[in-house]
Homo-oligomer: A and B are copies of this chain.
Amino acid sequence: MSDDPKPIVLLAPGLGGLRQLFENSYRLIEPPASGVVVGEGRGARAFITVGNRPMEAEIAALPDLGLVAVVGSGYEAIDVAGLRARGVEVTHSPGANHEDVADHAVGLLIAEVRQLVAGDRRVRAGDWTKDRHPASTRSIRTLKVGIVGLGAIGLAIAERLRPFGCPIAWWGPHPKPGAAYPRTDTLLKLAEESDVLMLAHRADDSNRGLIDAEVIAALGPRGVLVNIARGSAVDEDALIAALRNGRLGGATLDVFQDEPTPAERWRDVPNVVLTPHTAGGAEASLAAMTRMVAENLRRFFAGEPLANPVPPAA
Contact = CB atoms under 8 A, between A and B. Distances in A.
Given A164-B103, A266-B124, A119 B282 contact: no
Which residue, of A14, A114, A125, A132, has the highest number of chain B Cβ atoms within 10 A? Answer: A114
A176 interface: no
Contact of A273 (B15, B116, B126, B138): B116
Interface stretch (A181-189, A194-202, A243-251, A256-264): A256-264
Contacts of A260: 123, 128-130
Contact of A14 (B15, B100, B133): B133
Determine the interface band of chain A, counting residues with CB < 8 A from chain B: 35 or more
A99 B257 CA distance: 36
A62 to B, nearest CB: 19
Contacts of A123: 260-261, 263, 266, 274-276
24 contacts: A14-B132, A15-B133, A17-B133, A17-B135, A33-B129, A99-B165, A100-B140, A103-B139, A103-B141, A106-B110, A107-B107, A110-B111, A114-B275, A123-B274, A128-B260, A128-B261, A130-B260, A133-B276, A137-B278, A138-B283, A141-B284, A159-B163, A160-B163, A162-B163
Interface of A: 13-17, 32-33, 99-100, 103-104, 106-108, 110-111, 114-117, 119-120, 122-126, 128-142, 159-160, 162-165, 260-264, 266-267, 273-278, 281-286
